[in-house]
Structure 1
């Protein structure tokens, strides 16, 4: 497989995602692969998924904490699509057999009320375009074996997005500061981690502005109704069958997910 063959790499990821069978990191064979190469592969992969009838309903932004950026060699966040087929309702049961190596992260998710297209989008512009916020969890997953990801690998692999669980309640975001939203994560009734909105790039609203500007460079706009996942507020937590996770957010309420071996 030639190092620059984005289509072949996308087909390998597509098969890994479909069959739940991980593949070696692309960067093992070609350490020179860049973020731009990763996004070229991602675009090919998304086109294949959409051809199957799925649709993009928003975006996730990953690596919004300095710790995660250091871990995978980033100096900025990365992004990938939120696909309609991967969204679960609050209280849903998540089957492990739909993933390869899933982990859970609690996040603040914004809902866009207005179109937002960069470049030149400021944090104030993003704040005005946001209609509200929701409590949410992301299930991150890696089609790359053993999470041995480097920059190009995770970008190509939909920014390691697997699924999301979101509260049905959208809370207007014009009367509180999302940086100060506290979160408590519990597993099976035991508190296992905490976080605050500021963990996401210093300001979750700034994440939306960053995303709008990056997408705008490719002529893509955030549209009304789109969801923007703004990044983990804590370290990702492995999931096991029988687990019940609950994330309690100040202002935004609670979101719960149950984990089963299969459904």
Structure 2
């Protein structure tokens, strides 16, 4: 591991701990990347902090998929999604109040979560493989966050920053895939009764299962395949929305029901948020 890339990981980790965002890291990652492989270098930074959290007792419970929107991919100049790690301490209960101090520049997006009952170890999977390996689906809200100041991100910034992960909220009514049309299901998200985001499963790479296949293939090639019990946050079904203190978001997803993210009041006006 390039020591200078490890220092960038240190800075991102400290930003998370302190709640103080840092300037973009993409230029320094590019400067220190070996063989001009910017993306691999950014994932190396992410992996440093993933391993640190595991060494500190964190429990890896799954992965999130980002950049599943073609419009966002074009904005960042990429042609594929990215991924980040999900840990148990990032999970929030449906309707549980989220302390504002846990957040960094939060935004919310509605997603479909898949929970696996079998491993996905192959370098090339099919949609049928993913369906067979999935125990059930849940409605979910991802609370994305950025350790990069003012969300001034490009691909290398978000990848290094664990795909701009924050927290995630899972619904509590599991639904078998045989009862769902994942591509056709509609989504509507409200903030205290006002609609703020609409979309459908097709917004996620045409179908959330396509996103899951991409993730399974990618992680297997990297030697860290998806395992039974893993949670897969498959990507946004509609536009993300900036969260503010005291907000309550409820996402309704056709066939899956609803899930709510509840935000607490800002505790300290000087917290850098």
TM range (shorter): over 0.9
Distance apart, 1:110 and its partner CA? 0.5
CA contact (8 A) 2:121 2:225 kept: yes
Q: Counterpart of 2:6?
A: 7
Does structure 1 residue 131 correspond to structure 2 residue 130?
no
CA distance in 2, matches of 1:44, 1:128: 32
| SS in structure 1 at match of 2:137 | strand
- Give ranges in structure 2 of 5+ residues lacking alignment: 268-273
Does structure 1 residue 71 correspond to structure 2 residue 75?
yes
Which of residues 258, 262, 265 is equivalent to 1:258?
262
Distance apart, 1:149 and its partner CA? 0.8
Does structure 1 residue 210 correspond to structure 2 residue 214?
yes
CA distance in 2, matches of 1:248, 1:42: 32
Q: Counterpart of 1:245?
A: 249
Q: Counterpart of 1:44?
A: 48
CA contact (8 A) 1:96 1:102 kept: no
Q: How does 1:131-210 map onto structure 2 within 5 Å?
A: 131-210=135-214
TM-score of the superposed pair, with normalisation by structure 2: 0.92
Deviating above 6 A after TM superposition, structure 1's stretches of 4 or more consecutive aligned residues are: none
CA contact (8 A) 1:126 1:206 kept: no
Q: Counterpart of 1:83?
A: 87
| SS in structure 2 at match of 1:74 | coil
| SS in structure 1 at match of 2:26 | helix
Q: Counterpart of 1:26?
A: 25
Does structure 1 residue 222 correspond to structure 2 residue 221?
no
Q: Counterpart of 2:103?
A: 99
Does structure 1 residue 231 correspond to structure 2 residue 235?
yes
CA contact (8 A) 1:14 1:48 kept: no
CA distance in 2, matches of 1:244, 1:100: 17
| SS in structure 2 at match of 1:5 | helix
Aligned length: 262
Distance apart, 1:262 and its partner CA? 5.1
TM-score of the superposed pair, with normalisation by structure 1: 0.95
Sort the Cα spacing of 1:96 and 1:71 in 2 relative to 1 into closer, same or farther, 3 A. Answer: farther
Alignment deviations for residues 151-192 of structure 1 (CA, whole Å, 9 cap, x no partner): 111001000000000112211112322111111100011112
CA contact (8 A) 1:117 1:221 kept: yes
- Give ranges in structure 1 of 5+ residues lacking alignment: none
Alignment deviations for residues 36-92 of structure 1 (CA, whole Å, 9 cap, x no partner): 111000010111122221111000000001011112222100001111101011111
